[in-house]
Amino acid sequence: MNTARRTGALTALSLSLAMASGPSQAQPQRPRLLEDPNRFVGMWVTQDGHIRHELLPNGRYDEARGTRPSAYRGSYRLTGNHIDYVDDTGFTADGEFRDGVLYHAGMVLYRESTTGR
């Protein structure tokens, strides 16, 4: 191989290695900052007011049913718009927030301020 051809081949190889070791568009992007963990904190109420879920900022909830305040208490965890509940007896349930509404165990709950209460 002559010198010019060898130099060209080495340059091409160096360029290929530099491109391969540099940032790639195919690499996954860094995760975005997490959404506000308190975005769903507050009182969530069925339209008739019978069920009231208070989601507290410390990851706990307090559920009232009818005239029974604190009928159920426990913790909750958010993953995106999904909520997982574990009450203090170990019972588990879950729900989804969609378009500002909480769908949980066959119930539909609204932020208290949107129910007119």
Distance, CA of 52 to CA of 44 (rounded, Å): 6
* pTM > 0.85: yes or no: no
Check if the beta carbon of residue 45 is closer than 8 Å to that of residue 52.
Answer: yes
Residue 28 lies in a domain: no
Residue 25 lies in a domain: no
Structurally, the chain folds into a number of domains equal to: 1
pLDDT at 19: 44
List phi, psi (to 5°) of 95: -165, 175
CATH number at residue 86: 2.40.128.290
Domain residues for the domain of 53 are: 42-114
Residue 10 lies in a domain: no
3-state class percentages of the chain: helix first, strand second, coil last, to nearest 5: 20, 45, 40
Q: For the chain of 117 residues, list the mean pLDDT of each consecutive stretch of 10.
A: 50 44 51 71 98 98 98 97 98 97 98 67
Q: Which ranges constitute the DSSP H helices of the chain?
A: 3-21
Residue 24 lies in a domain: no
pLDDT at 115: 45
DSSP state of 114: G
